[in-house]
Amino acid sequence: MDIAAKFTTLFVDMILPLLVGYGLKRLDWRCETLFRHMITVGIILLFPVLTAFSIWGLVPVFDLVWLPAFGVLLHIIPGGLAWIWGRRKYSSSLDYGSYAISGFLSNHVTLGSLSAYILYGETGYAYTQMTLLFNSLLMFGFAYPLAQYFRKQHDHGAGLKIDLQQILFNRNQMPLVGMIIGIWLNWQGVDRPAGFLPVFDMMIHFSAWTFLLPVGYSMDFDEVRHFWRDALDITVIKCIITPLLTLAIAGSVIGDAVAFRTLILLAAQPTAVNAVIAMKLFGLNLHLSVAAFVLSTAVYLSLVFPTIFLW
């Protein structure tokens, strides 16, 4: 796929469904129930299958085992900063949870992978996939349970007793099941069916629309405008502080130039769509996460990516 096709895919699979969803909202179409079911199907069916199939096909390269460690760090740095800053800012668990998770989850998989391919070709794309080895675990095994915890804390107050079994073992964790199945199949050396690749590609496009249509429908700019200052905080964490800290850390341990530049690129990614999905799923402050998603993505596309391109 050439660069023009990649940009076309970016528009069709990421920007267009947001525009369509927002258009449906402006037309006052009642789609809430449909979109809620779409998200549920995506969580319990699409994500598990896609996760299992992609991990199944990974080829281990033991010389680059440090890349997944940096992938974890790219979550800890912005998420930790958002956690610390948010503790001082919010008294509401719904606001604090939205702020912290919007900081923790970055758009590595979609925008990060595409950006790495455009700048550094197949090598950059391969380094990106290795860096994101634990991405599903961090998202569905940590961020989603954390969102559920903040929701329960809001509902039950300070007297909340944490039920780890209920938080960790529910249908929203089905992508983790897919990850475990994919790891097992990969470990056992089972050949991945080549005939499934066209279906996989179709499911990728379908899953993008499944999750982004509801996000576009949720974008109420009359409400979102109240959270631009919060979104600016997260954008500074995502697009300035995290890449600078990663630059300082990675510069002393990574000798491969393409791997180093790919990590800096991934460190500067904006808030993930999945942060917005988590807010819808668990009932946290949706408008705050949408504001973070919109502003950080706009800053990345207009300023950060061109800067790294010229670097």
Helix (H, G, I), strand (E, B) or coil at 226: helix
pLDDT at position 273 is 84
Least confident of 90-99, 213-222, 290-299: 213-222
Please state the rounded mean pLDDT for residues 29-36: 83
Average pLDDT, the chain: 83
Long-range pairs, 35-39, Cβ under 8 A, ≥24: 35/213, 35/214, 35/217, 36/214, 36/280, 38/210, 38/211, 38/213, 38/214, 39/210, 39/211, 39/214, 39/277, 39/280, 39/281
E strand spans, 64-125: none
pLDDT at position 178 is 83
Ranges 136-140, 188-192, 231-235, 299-303, most confident: 231-235
Tell me the residue type at 81: L
Using one digit for the tens of pLDDT, what is the confidence trace for 68-79?
Answer: 899 999 999 999
| Residue 148 belongs to domain spanning | 3-310
pLDDT classification of 60: cutoffs 50, 70, 90: low
- pTM for the full model? 0.78
When divided into structural domains, the chain yields a total of 1
Q: Is the pLDDT of residue 63 over 80?
A: no
Q: The CATH number of the domain where 29 resides is what? A: 1.20.1530.20
